[in-house]
Chains A and B, each alone.
Chain A
Amino acid sequence: MTIQEKQDEIIEEFSIYEDWMDKYSYLIELGKELKPLNPSQHSKENLIEGCVSRVWLDAEMKEGKIFFSADSDAIITKGIIALLIKVVSGHTPAEIKDADLYFIDKIGLRENLSPTRANGLLAMIKRIRLYALAYDAKSKQRG
């Protein structure tokens, strides 16, 4: 599936929730199910400091594709992270760096990306792109 197809699938999934409460309950479920990071991944390098909640992001390159893993101390943030990782993981740096991540807005979670929320999500998306740019530059160097 492409990044776009994955996003459309999530939007479809969320369209059944009319009440924000159901939507947040689902996010809480996703947050709880997200595979925990191992202790070494909870490192200072992986930490993205937010004012109210913190986020950790790790990435590894396998056969030309980037795989992300992440965590947060806030469950709802973690639920959104789970969706984000699902969307971008397993794609090439070139695909990720140019991806338009529109699904968060479309499923009505835009307020979670507001800089005033300071939950680290916005910074996390930035860092996902930075990883993609860095791996992309690296692969071109080798190429």
Chain B
Amino acid sequence: MFDVQKVREDFPILQQEIYGKPFVYFDNGATTQKPRVVLDTITRLYEIENSNIHRGVHHLSTVTTENYEEARKIIARYFHVENEKEIVYTHGTTDSINLVAFSFGEKFIHEGDEIILTEMEHHANIVPWQMLCERKKAHIKVWKMDDTGCLKLDDLVNLITEKTKLIGVTQVSNVLGTVNPVKEITQIAHKHEVPILIDGAQGAQHVPTDLSGIDCDFYAFSGHKIYGPTGIGVLYAKTKWLEEMPPYQGGGDMILSVTFDHTEYLEAPFKFEAGTTNYIGAIGLGAAIQYLRNIGLKEVFEYEDQLLAYATEKVKEIPGLRIYGEAPRKVSILSFLIDGINAYDTGLILDKLGVAVRTGHHCAQPVADHFGIAGTVRASFSFYNTFEEVDHFVAGLHRVVEMFQ
């Protein structure tokens, strides 16, 4: 049985007050809080185990290297990836996508080629491709969504041509909460022999993600959004791509041999992990994922679904409130605007009541443009949030309405 009060004790940051009011953290889409076990892992590493990986013959270096590689296995297992060598450590989702845009892009994208991206992508899955297209004189085609925030599979089929070289799709929209049918999308892509990249920044922590079942070519996510440290992320890529793609950055720890005439690279994933990586972050991420598994993924995801359903019903009490994102399948992200009240004003008052939400375009301007708005207020929930907190938030919205009337 999922016990939210017990779980909350694992998160020290939730125990505080803001402006003398209980802290309600509903900005989990931006970053998640860290359980004690992650904090303890990081402290332990720096206090007694710190040593650079893959280099020394000495004891601590071996221990840290083993922990670093063990974390890779934990991550691989979480995503049902059999071969952990397909897990490349990066700095985060943005870094992972930039890696693919560079390494895959340099080799496989040529003048006149097309990349299909959905209208609901985060800027992190738009801008690297725009930069690539500029270098290569290639083009981006946009897969539009409907007004509920859903993509139609038929539309994708119509967009694919023989020039299509990659499809980029977000697993979950960071503004609308839509869960996209990434498995079906991958099947369509592969039927046309087009590789697919999935942005998992908002999906990995909220929906079961079986990468071998989905069969995608690339998958990117960030450690800090799944209760791990900042500055660490992952790129999953199929072995065939990792073998064919040139390295992204050169440096130490990614080479087999170096002379001034020629350098031989290590095999993947090390080929893509140049320099000293964020190994403390990687081990911390392993601890975070292990923590999540220990609570029970099924329990966590179900509870988050209940929170979203409850909050969605409750906010409908607010006169003039419109929800953005009405897909049948959503994660715990609730974007909305109250008629005649600016998102910034709403966020400012909620903040004073101790409730942290995000306001603005959430780094996905095309989504705001689709609806002809400047941005939204976004409340994003996690399993450590409670129904009482949702009540407090809704009471805050009533207050906002009173103040601006």
- The 8 Å CB contact of A25, one of B347, B348, B361, B403, is B403
- The 8 Å CB contact of B343, one of A24, A25, A52, A118, is A52
Q: In whole angstroms, what is the CA distance A54 to B341 when docked?
A: 14
Question: Using Cβ atoms and an 8 Å threshold, which residues of chain A touch B19?
Answer: 20
In the assembled complex, the CB of B167 is this many whole angstroms from the nearest CB of chain A, namely 29
Interface centre among A25, A52, A73 (most CB of B within 10 A): A52
The residue on A at minimum CB distance from B347 is A52
A residues 65-118 touching B (CB-CB < 8 Å): 73-77, 118
In the assembled complex, the CB of B19 is this many whole angstroms from the nearest CB of chain A, namely 8
Q: Does B22 contact A (CB under 8 A)?
A: no
Q: Does B359 contact A (CB under 8 A)?
A: yes
Question: Using Cβ atoms and an 8 Å threshold, which residues of chain B touch A25?
Answer: 403
The answer to whether B352 and A76 have CB atoms under 8 Å apart is no
Q: In whole angstroms, what is the CA distance A75 to B375 when docked?
A: 15
Question: Using Cβ atoms and an 8 Å threshold, which residues of chain A touch B39?
Answer: none
Q: Does A51 contact B (CB under 8 A)?
A: yes
Q: Does A53 contact B (CB under 8 A)?
A: yes
Question: Using Cβ atoms and an 8 Å threshold, which residues of chain A touch B361?
Answer: 51
Q: Does A28 contact B (CB under 8 A)?
A: yes
Query: With A24-B352, A28-B403, A51-B361 in contact, is A76–B345 under 8 Å at CB?
Result: yes
Question: Using Cβ atoms and an 8 Å threshold, which residues of chain B touch A1?
Answer: none
Q: In whole angstroms, what is the CA distance A53 to B343 when docked?
A: 8
Q: In whole angstroms, what is the CA distance A143 to B253 when docked?
A: 66
* Interface residues as binary, B364-398 with A (CB distance below 8 Å gives 1, 0 otherwise): 00000000001100000000000000000000000
The answer to whether B344 and A74 have CB atoms under 8 Å apart is yes
Interface centre among B341, B345, B352, B359 (most CB of A within 10 A): B345
The answer to whether B352 and A52 have CB atoms under 8 Å apart is no
Q: In whole angstroms, what is the CA distance A74 to B377 when docked?
A: 13
Question: Using Cβ atoms and an 8 Å threshold, which residues of chain A touch B345?
Answer: 74-77
The answer to whether A52 and B404 have CB atoms under 8 Å apart is no
Q: Does B360 contact A (CB under 8 A)?
A: yes
The residue on B at minimum CB distance from A53 is B344
Q: In whole angstroms, what is the CA distance A74 to B345 when docked?
A: 6
Question: Using Cβ atoms and an 8 Å threshold, which residues of chain B touch A24?
Answer: 348-349, 352, 403
Q: In whole angstroms, what is the CA distance A119 to B359 when docked?
A: 11
Q: In whole angstroms, what is the CA distance A52 to B342 when docked?
A: 9
Q: Does A21 contact B (CB under 8 A)?
A: yes
Query: With A24-B403, A25-B403 in contact, is A53–B352 under 8 Å at CB?
Result: no
The answer to whether B403 and A119 have CB atoms under 8 Å apart is no
B residues 206-242 touching A (CB-CB < 8 Å): none
The total of chain A residues at the interface (CB under 8 A) is 16
The answer to whether B404 and A75 have CB atoms under 8 Å apart is yes
B residues 257-297 touching A (CB-CB < 8 Å): none
A residues 1-40 touching B (CB-CB < 8 Å): 20-21, 24-25, 28
The answer to whether A119 and B344 have CB atoms under 8 Å apart is yes
The answer to whether B360 and A52 have CB atoms under 8 Å apart is yes
Q: In whole angstroms, what is the CA distance A67 to B349 when docked?
A: 31
- The 8 Å CB contact of A52, one of B341, B349, B359, is B359
Question: Using Cβ atoms and an 8 Å threshold, which residues of chain B touch A52?
Answer: 343-344, 347, 359-360, 375
Question: Using Cβ atoms and an 8 Å threshold, which residues of chain A touch B404?
Answer: 28, 75
Question: Using Cβ atoms and an 8 Å threshold, which residues of chain B touch A119?
Answer: 344
Interface centre among B342, B347, B349, B375 (most CB of A within 10 A): B342
Subset of 8 A-B contacts with CB under 8 Å = A20-B352, A25-B403, A52-B344, A52-B347, A52-B360, A73-B374, A74-B348, A77-B344
Residues of B within 8 A of A (CB): 19, 341-345, 347-349, 352, 359-361, 374-375, 403-404
19 additional A-B pairs beyond A52-B343, A119-B344, beta carbons within 8 Å, are A20-B19, A21-B403, A24-B348, A24-B403, A51-B360, A51-B361, A52-B344, A52-B375, A53-B343, A53-B344, A53-B374, A54-B374, A73-B342, A73-B374, A74-B342, A74-B344, A74-B345, A74-B348, A75-B342
Q: List the 3 closest A-B pairs by CB distance, nearest first.
A: A74-B344, A53-B344, A52-B360
